[in-house]
Structure 1
Amino acid sequence: MNRKLYWILLTLITFALLGLVFLQTQWLKNAWKVKEDHFSLKVNQAMSEIAKAVETQETIVEVTSEIFSVDYDIKRSNNISRIFGTRYTPQDSLKPQYLLSRESISVKNDSGKNTNTQVTIATGDTILFSHILSTNQKDDIRKVLTADKTEKELVDKLSNKTLLVEKIVNKLLNYSDDFNRRIDKEVLISIITREMQNAGIGLSYEFAVKDSKGKVFVSSDRYNNDRAVHAYKTNLFPHDVFSDPFYLILYFPSKSNYIIHSMGYMGILSIFLTLVIIFSYGLLVYIIFRQKKLSEIKNDFVNNMTHELKTPISTISLAAQMLKDQSINDSFKNVDHIAGIISEESRRLGFQVEKVLRTAMMERSEIKLKIKQVDIHEIIITIVNNFELQVKNKGGTLSAHLNAKNPVIEADEHHMANVLMNLLENALKYCEKSPEIIISTRDITRGISVSVQDNGIGIKKEEQKKIFEKFYRVPTGNIHNVKGFGLGLSYVKSVVESHGGVIKVDSEPGTGSMFTLCLNKQLKTEPI
């Protein structure tokens, strides 16, 4: 794909995704706000009802306590009796300045007929009568009210009622500064719970009652002042005139979960789809970059393979031409030497082809291991003898420190030999001075450890995690001046892991590298 087109496509997809995520986020925020506002409305309505219920409860308590403590022997008939001693007609009325109480009483006359009379009690001892007669005989009221016994009972009732109302009103106006004396904590909790249930709110809540200065008078057991930043607040006694207000502070610990649940499946599905889109985009970008990287690796591999295969092919072709050239006298043709060159280059060509085929088979998991009892020391000695000449030609040394007491393991001899050969080849290729290579073994738990140490150029920390990837080659500059396909270490790791082992690398740039193989003695043993 054209590089410019690639970036244009990636940019368009990115902007489209960002726009979609932005719109989806705005929709979710608006849906959240609507649900939160609806929830807050229900809570505020419930708290208004709580305040009404608390004031009603306080009034009931005061009225009830006062009714049971009234002294019915107190009489104030002197001021009231004067009014009943005068003549009264339905048109007569006294104009009170302040009204405190209004009561209806029923009086029976001698004929057994009822007269309903409404009495309004004002400050002082002024009384206003208004009445509804159940009979058309208006003169009967005068007969009833002039009766001594009825007059005395009426005076007593009105006197007691006046005293009761005055005492209750005085108590309600003289507020207590101690909240706990006005309403009990358990009663308050029952009121809050009842009103929340009536509002359809079944969440657990925490509350506290504070004054305007923040002093806490009562609170729930788990109330946390730090979590009450966004709590709901209302005045419990809104009709108090002279006293400091008491505020009910209430919050819901699981409010967020409730709102999410109230959004229903649409909200959850929307969040899920948004996450899926974001994940898919990330995976798409990863695949695109990986394909781009693989394309570059493939091009490098083709170039390297062409170079690696072209060299032995050219050598073989040149040797064949020398043998066929009739202009060269047979006595000058060193047939054995030319045949040796052809044989060596053919072997080299076959080795490169086999390496590529081995990697392809390992990728498809088609490689078949021929497991048997092998002596790892014998394999190492054979390989050291084969590579010793190449090392000496570069002015280096190759030594073996075989310290393992039990070198026999279960492994595929052929692939294990190829693993060690790959490590030695890398030690030779990536060394810019006289190579010093050491192969050592030692016993470990359930197996044996084989190490190949060199004094090469070393590998950076960030590169060590990538060296076992297929086709990856450690950068040595703008040009790869070291031969190879980048398949050797990938093959090594695959073979070691297929034997249930692990491979480790310890390297520092400029000081060299050490590759360590940890192999099981028995193939069925758990990985080391």
Structure 2
Amino acid sequence: MLSSFIKKIRENVPTAILTAAVLGALLLQLNLLSGQLELQRQQFESQIGTTSSRLSERVRLFVRRKSMGSFSSNANVDSVFTINTPMGQTTVRWSNAQIHPPYGIGTRDTTMLGGMLDNFQSSLPWSTQLDVTELDSIIANELKQNGVRTEPVWALIENGYLSTLTSEGFDPEKVTFNYVLAESFFGPTRQLLLYFPSEKFYLAKRVYLSLVASLLFSTVILTAFFGVQRQGRRQKRLANVKSDFINNMSHEFKTPLATINLAVDAIIKNGDKMDADQIRNYLAVIKTENKRMNAQMESVLQMSMMDKEELTLQRTQMSIEHVVVEAVEHFKLSVAQRNGWIDLVVSPGSYTYFGDPTQFKSALTNLIDNAIKYSSDVPMVSVKLSEEDHDFVIVVKDRGIGMNEETTSQVFDRFFRATKGNIHDVKGHGLGLSFVQEIVDKHGGLIDVQSKIGVGSTFIIKIEKNQ
């Protein structure tokens, strides 16, 4: 029990190591990508922080230019402008007689007026000096200057209350940034709340090259991993079926060789006492077993030729009906000896085809022989030949033991046998159906199988008609 457990662990060590290596590489990729995203996030927050720190100055300059604009509108009259305050309106009048060069706007010295306006602005709410469109434009321009290229949703809080300066669609639940723009002894007097609806996509886009490279690398790793795993399972299965094949071949050769050996020994020891008929019977046994071995070797050589792509078709004008009839007739006697039957139904039609009659008949013979071998004690096999618009159709149906889905999916694999649990219950070495499929493929056809345990199997061959 313990040795079996240790053996399984040893067998799975390479797979475990490979799996750990792949997972480690994927985790490393995710960690690097996470680091890139975090770095971009920090840079993003820094850019927004820089924007908020400069926002008050930008608003002050904007309001000042906006207020001073009235002085440049008319050079010949006194200037008048009004500033709204919570206590009412404050009107400032400026007479041209009070203006002296050289500083200011044109010929006007605005130094004193600018200082006075700054004092007013610092004590007034922004909502009395700006509208939503103006503040939105200032915020957007500042963000762009600091490298932020995604649109924000924002709101302004002044003296603890939500200001009317709030962008459309603002949702307090989604706020991710909160910056204090002004404060007094009692706490913040002006705050800017921000969030970015496309923040995650924007940050991902900033690292898209790393993201694409990481995804590509991960895809390559996973593809290679699953490819190696699949190939490993395939090689393991192939090793198992090859082991079965060797055991089957040993058995198939051992039996006829033993029979031949017994016949030869009998002739050597008692040949002088045998009459001509007895010797002839022993020789017939030797010839039969020799033919049996030769047939087995021929099938193995055929598969070897297929591996080397040396098997070529000798195409000629042939009758598929004639070939099918010959293949069925070949088994009628052996089936009758087991009290079974094999019938053939040929639908009316023209079955002339340009192919290799020898190889085609060999494929059908293998297919019918397989149906008989895997039948019950009394074989019952039906063969039907018909034609469709573009294909010839050959159906071989038995009432045998049938196959499950797993066996059906592997039945055309080389060396595969459905009776792996008892390799000697049915004679063969797992090459017959593989050979059949190869011949059908070389004729440009398709072969399919339908099977159910305890009911039987149906093989369907479709060969495209010659044009």
Structure 2 partner of 1:98: none
Q: Is the 8 A contact 2:340 2:380 kept in 1?
A: yes
* Identity score, percent: 24
2-side partners of 1:445 and 1:52: how far apart? 85
The structure-2 alpha-carbon separation of the partners of 1:196 and 1:372, relative to structure 1 and needing over 3 Å to count, comes to farther
The structure-2 alpha-carbon separation of the partners of 1:24 and 1:245, relative to structure 1 and needing over 3 Å to count, comes to closer
SS of the residue corresponding to residue 325 of structure 1 reads: helix
1:22-74 deviation per Cα after TM superposition (whole angstroms, max 9, x unaligned): 445434432432233223322432354456434543454345469879x9599
1:153-200 deviation per Cα after TM superposition (whole angstroms, max 9, x unaligned): xxxx99x969x95899389726649xxx83353x55654553344223
2-side partners of 1:66 and 1:244: how far apart? 30
Structure 2 partner of 1:129: none
Q: Which amino acid aligns with 1:461?
A: E
Q: Is the 8 A contact 1:398 1:437 kept in 2?
A: yes
Q: Which amino acid aligns with 1:8?
A: V
Q: Which amino acid aligns with 1:511?
A: V
Once the 2 structures are TM-superposed, how far is the Cα of residue 293 of structure 1 from its aligned partner? 2.2
1:384-404 deviation per Cα after TM superposition (whole angstroms, max 9, x unaligned): 111011111222111111115
The structure-2 alpha-carbon separation of the partners of 1:7 and 1:365, relative to structure 1 and needing over 3 Å to count, comes to same
1:107-143 deviation per Cα after TM superposition (whole angstroms, max 9, x unaligned): 99xxxxx9x9xxxxxxxxxxxxxxxxxxxxxxxxxxx
2-side partners of 1:236 and 1:50: how far apart? 11
Q: Which amino acid aligns with 2:286?
A: I
Higher mean C-alpha deviation, range 288-297 or range 275-284: 275-284
Confirm or deny that 1:255 pairs with 2:206: no
Confirm or deny that 1:501 pairs with 2:449: no
Once the 2 structures are TM-superposed, how far is the Cα of residue 346 of structure 1 from its aligned partner? 1.7
**1:483 equivalent among 392, 412, 427:** 427
Confirm or deny that 1:198 pairs with 2:145: yes
The structure-2 alpha-carbon separation of the partners of 1:437 and 1:215, relative to structure 1 and needing over 3 Å to count, comes to farther
Structure 1 partner of 2:46: 41
Unaligned stretches of 5+ residues in structure 2: 1-6, 81-91, 103-108
Once the 2 structures are TM-superposed, how far is the Cα of residue 467 of structure 1 from its aligned partner? 0.9
Q: Is the 8 A contact 1:370 1:411 kept in 2?
A: yes
Q: Is the 8 A contact 2:400 2:457 kept in 1?
A: yes
Confirm or deny that 1:300 pairs with 2:248: no
2-side partners of 1:445 and 1:210: how far apart? 75
Confirm or deny that 1:472 pairs with 2:416: yes
Once the 2 structures are TM-superposed, how far is the Cα of residue 318 of structure 1 from its aligned partner? 2.2
Q: Which amino acid aligns with 2:438?
A: S
Structure 2 partner of 1:146: none
2-side partners of 1:502 and 1:234: how far apart? 70
Higher Cα Rg, which structure: 1
Structure 2 partner of 1:366: 310
2-side partners of 1:474 and 1:209: how far apart? 72
Unaligned stretches of 5+ residues in structure 1: 75-100, 109-113, 117-156
Once the 2 structures are TM-superposed, how far is the Cα of residue 455 of structure 1 from its aligned partner? 0.7
Confirm or deny that 1:394 pairs with 2:341: no
Higher mean C-alpha deviation, range 323-332 or range 465-474: 323-332
Q: Is the 8 A contact 2:127 2:164 kept in 1?
A: no
Q: Which amino acid aligns with 2:203?
A: K
Aligned length: 430
Once the 2 structures are TM-superposed, how far is the Cα of residue 298 of structure 1 from its aligned partner? 1.6
1-side partners of 2:325 and 2:170: how far apart? 75
Q: Is the 8 A contact 2:64 2:118 kept in 1?
A: no
1-side partners of 2:250 and 2:151: how far apart? 77
Q: Is the 8 A contact 2:339 2:378 kept in 1?
A: yes
SS of the residue corresponding to residue 252 of structure 2 reads: helix
Aligned pairs (5 A) from 1:18-417: 18-50=23-55, 52-54=57-59, 56-64=61-69, 72=78, 169=120, 173=124, 176=127, 182-183=130-131, 185=133, 187=134, 190-201=137-148, 203=149, 205-210=150-155, 217-219=166-168, 233-234=177-178, 247-250=193-196, 251-252=198-199, 253-261=201-209, 263=210, 272-273=216-217, 275-326=219-270, 329-331=273-275, 333-417=277-361
Structure 2 partner of 1:439: 383
Q: Which amino acid aligns with 1:42?
A: Q
The structure-2 alpha-carbon separation of the partners of 1:209 and 1:355, relative to structure 1 and needing over 3 Å to count, comes to same
Once the 2 structures are TM-superposed, how far is the Cα of residue 425 of structure 1 from its aligned partner? 1.1
Q: Is the 8 A contact 1:436 1:454 kept in 2?
A: yes
Structure 1 partner of 2:89: none
The structure-2 alpha-carbon separation of the partners of 1:390 and 1:243, relative to structure 1 and needing over 3 Å to count, comes to same
Once the 2 structures are TM-superposed, how far is the Cα of residue 438 of structure 1 from its aligned partner? 0.9
Structure 2 partner of 1:456: 400
Q: Which amino acid aligns with 2:244?
A: D
Once the 2 structures are TM-superposed, how far is the Cα of residue 211 of structure 1 from its aligned partner? 6.4
Structure 1 partner of 2:85: none
